[in-house]
Amino acid sequence: MSGRERGIRVKSMRLKVFFGLILLFCAAPSYAQYRASIQGVVTDPDGAVVSGATLTLTNLETNRKLVATSDASGVYNFNAL
């Protein structure tokens, strides 16, 4: 293998590594952006927290329903939306 061929192979390998790293670093942030969550506190009209309340979240496009229950502090979570 001549020096020129070796140089071309090294340059080619560097480009492959460079583009591989770009794909790796761009893929991770884009993966994280499609997930969301909703968190809140259930209160009555007087402002007191309501524990054990059942909440239903419905996707109007797919009719998919998620159910959450408020904890002792009135807090509820819908994760990984």
CB 74 within 8 A of CB 51: yes
Q: Domain span at residue 48?
A: 36-81
Pair (75, 50) in one structural domain: yes
Pair (79, 52) in one structural domain: yes
Pair (57, 24) in one structural domain: no
Pair (24, 40) in one structural domain: no
Pair (30, 59) in one structural domain: no
Query: How far apart are alpha carbons 58 and 1 in whole angstroms?
Result: 65
Number of domains in the chain: 2
CB 73 within 8 A of CB 51: yes
Query: How far apart are alpha carbons 6 and 52 in whole angstroms?
Result: 69
3-state secondary structure at position 42: coil
pTM of the model: 0.57
Q: What is the pLDDT of residues 7-25, one digit of tens each?
A: 677 778 888 887 777 777 7
Q: What is the pLDDT of residues 53-73, one digit of tens each?
A: 999 999 999 999 999 999 999
